[in-house]
Structures are given as C-alpha cells and as structure tokens.
Amino acid sequence: MTISFNVKNTDGFARSGLLETAHGKIKTPVFMPVGTYGAVKGIQPDDLKYIGAEIILSNTYHLMERPGKDIIRDIGGLRKFMNWDGPILTDSGGFQVMSLQNMAKIDNDGVTFKSHIDGSLIRLTPKDSIEMQNALDSTITMVFDECTSYPVKKDLALYSMNLSMKWAKLCRDNFIDKNGYGLFGIVQGSTFNDLRQISSENLINIGFDGYAIGGLAVGEGHEVMINTLKSSINYLPINKPRYLMGVGYPKDIIEAVNLGVDMFDCVIPTRSGRTGKVFTKNGTLNIKNSRHKNDPRSIEEGCSCKICSNNISRAYLYHLFNTKEMLGATYLTIHNINHYIQLMSTLRKAINNNNFNEASKFLLNEYKKGDIEIYN
C-alpha cells in the first residue's frame, strides 16, 4: 500500500480529508511550509510541530547542488538530516531548473543547465530526479516536469505538456512503490482548458497517488488562476489528493479550497515574515512602519501563536527589525506560519460543519479590513 487518502466530508466542491503516510497523518486541506534548503527559514522543527504543521516541502534542485545526494542519503534521508520526523514532500527540481537557469537547454530526455553555484554543467532527467528524491527519502515524490511561463502560445504549451507527460511516465517507471510513500503526477497545459483535460487523462492512465496542478501562480494573476482551476479541476479523480503548487495568499487558498483543492505550499508566510510583514485575520501589517514604534499591543489579539500569547509587543518587534536583530524575522515567521495553519484548520472545520460558503465569505471580508499591501 502506498499512501492512503480518504475524503471525510464535502461541502459544495470543498472537501476535508485524511492523508495517511509512512511518516504521519495529514488532515486536509493542508498548508505545507517551505524549507527550500532543508530548513524552513528562521524556524526550528519543534516550533513547526508546536504550531501544528503536519508536512513540509523541500526542493530537490537546491539540495542536489548543496550538499548533494550522497551526503543526505548516507545520513539517512532528509528528515533525519534536518531533524523533522513528520512527512515531507519534495518537488522534482524541474520548476527551479527552468526558472533559475537562463542557460537551461531542454531536450526530449531531460534538461542540461549550468549550476548557479559554480557554473558547472549539470544534466537532470526524470530518472535522475526520482533517484534524488529517493535518496532524500521523500514521503511524497513529485514527477519531473516542464513548466511553461505565462503567457505562452498554445502550440508551445501543447509541446511542453506532451513532454511533461512523457517524463511523467518515465518517473512512474523509475519510482519504487513503498508502504506509505507516494508519487504525484503534475497536470500542465497553461491556461488552456482542453490541454489540461488531455494532461489529466494522460496522468490518470499512468496512475498516480495524487495529482498536482502545475503551471499556475506563474504571473497569470488571481482571477485567471481561479478560472483555470475552476474549469479543469474536475478532470481529476475525487478519491486522490489534489495539490495546487506554489499557492498562495490566504484569498487564493480560500477560493481554491472552495473548488476542491486539498494541498498547498508557498513561501509567502516565511518570506513575508523575514521582511516585516504579518498576516492577521483583518489583513496585513508592516511591522517596520513607525506607527508601531511605541505600540504595546501584540500583533493580533486572540492569536494562538507563541509570540502573541506571550504578549510580545509591536514596539519590540519594530525595534528588532529596526536594529536588524535576526530574532525579529523568527518571531514574525512563527506568527505567519501559525496564521496559515490556523486558517486551514478553520476551513476544515467549516467544511465538516457544512458551512464553508458562509465561513469563507466571512474570512474574505475580514481580511479586507486591514492594510491591503500584500493581500492580493
């Protein structure tokens, strides 16, 4: 048996479920904090556990370059290497190779590119990506795919999607099924509904443990993303987890859950925390703004995070950023990840209580009350 997934309740298209893996259970819809280099920036694994994170994501490409496959495999996999005992999902490296490397040359069998560390020539094929993720001992492995940028002409999107489907089959052939481990396929096809349908059917024929929606959140904007999702998500099987890659802001997540997405990852809560931005139920705040200079209040009244429940003041957080103390970034990251994890918990409860429509409208309205600089 690979991973198992059971839908617990549905409310409209939104669904709550349970994903059971070799390394732990995950309640869905779920948000996965991102640990690009095998560390969720600025926050320790025990703090992630305390907050309630049930799975984290890491990046194959970055770990392949540093420290390399052999070091992590010999230590016993990425979970042991980084001291995180829960499940991990690793991306395939495809997106990073293509977004970071101007020098990437794609052919039918893989990608050749220059290392962004030392300029040496590296070859990455679907088989290499699966082997790398196997060395990382990933709970959930992603297929190696090609992600088109936006906008893209249809013939190019078709070519790229066909290549991704060929690679998806090679990934399936090279993946070794293990108890509680899974392999996810990735739907491509840019914003073209018919291409997404063909891509979904191709992947279902090959057979995966979950299906990701790729090629979105690449500059098309919220509305186009949601519309593409709306017209193409129903091509995916209802009994397997659906993962919208690289998304997003709370508004994106709420609307995607409404359409039936189960899994999310994004650097937004961590990156925002490092740059002084915090999420609250009433929108966002920039803690570096001088209006917080002598404010004795915590970031958010009633917030369950360690920072707010210890009544750490906005004045102190302002001071930490003003003096470039690294603790400031850690504190805001803890608050922001807690915010995202609590948001998912609220959405799950609403689905289980069959009042998702009402609850999501309320949440979206509340978000609009604060600063809107990073809302959209």
Question: Catalytic positions, please?
Answer: 91, 265
Half-sphere exposure of 316 (CA within 13 A, CB side): 13
3-state secondary structure of 321: helix
- Closest approach, Cβ 16 to Zn ion, in A, equals 24
Q: In which residue are the tokens 């997106």 written?
A: 95
Burial zone of 88 (CB within 10 Å; 0-12 exposed, 13-18 middle, 19+ buried): buried
Binding flags for Zn ion, 104-123, as an x/- string (CB under 5 A): --------------------
128-157 binders of Zn ion (CB under 5 A): none
Tell me if 89 contacts Zn ion by CB under 5 A.
no
Q: Which is nearer to Zn ion, 36 or 342 (CB)?
A: 342
3-state secondary structure of 123: strand
Angle between helix axes 250-258 and 326-352 (nearest 10 degrees) is 20
Q: Which stretch binds Zn ion (CB under 5 A): 78-86, 124-132, 157-165, 298-306?
A: 298-306
Can you tell me the distance from the alpha carbon of 188 to that of 46, in angstroms, rounded to the nearest whole number? Answer: 36
Please give the size of the binding site for Zn ion, defined by CB under 5 A: 4
Q: Which is nearer to Zn ion, 101 or 313 (CB)?
A: 313
In sequence order, what E strands does 248-293 have?
263-265, 277-280, 283-286
Burial zone of 35 (CB within 10 Å; 0-12 exposed, 13-18 middle, 19+ buried): buried
Residue from 62, 79, 335, 348 binding Zn ion (CB under 5 A): 335
Q: Which is nearer to Zn ion, 143 or 303 (CB)?
A: 303
- Closest approach, Cβ 334 to Zn ion, in A, equals 7
Q: To which H or E segment does residue 143 belong?
A: none
The torsion defined by the Cα of 299, 283, 50 and 269, in degrees rounded to 10, comes to -110
Q: Which is nearer to Zn ion, 242 or 335 (CB)?
A: 335
Can you tell me the distance from the alpha carbon of 53 to that of 302, in angstroms, rounded to the nearest whole number? Answer: 20
In the chain, what is the greatest distance between 2 CA atoms, to the nearest angstrom?
A: 61
- Closest approach, Cβ 291 to Zn ion, in A, equals 19
Beta-sheet pairing, 24-28 with 277-280: unpaired
Q: Which is nearer to Zn ion, 79 or 281 (CB)?
A: 281
Q: Which stretch binds Zn ion (CB under 5 A): 146-154, 249-257, 329-337, 342-350?
A: 329-337
Tell me if 305 contacts Zn ion by CB under 5 A.
yes
Residue from 56, 111, 186, 303 binding Zn ion (CB under 5 A): 303
**257: which 2 tokens?**
């859950």
Binding flags for Zn ion, 263-282, as an x/- string (CB under 5 A): --------------------
- Closest approach, Cβ 264 to Zn ion, in A, equals 20
Q: Which is nearer to Zn ion, 274 or 335 (CB)?
A: 335
- Closest approach, Cβ 331 to Zn ion, in A, equals 9
Residue from 308, 332, 350, 359 binding Zn ion (CB under 5 A): 308
Tell me if 48 contacts Zn ion by CB under 5 A.
no
Can you tell me the distance from the alpha carbon of 54 to that of 218, in angstroms, rounded to the nearest whole number? Answer: 26
- Closest approach, Cβ 13 to Zn ion, in A, equals 31
3-state secondary structure of 40: coil
Question: Residue type for 357, please?
Answer: N
Quick check: 40 and 58 in contact, CB under 8 A? no
**258: which 2 tokens?**
């409404």
Q: Which is nearer to Zn ion, 119 or 302 (CB)?
A: 302
Give me the residues that bind Zn ion (CB under 5 A), please.
303, 305, 308, 335
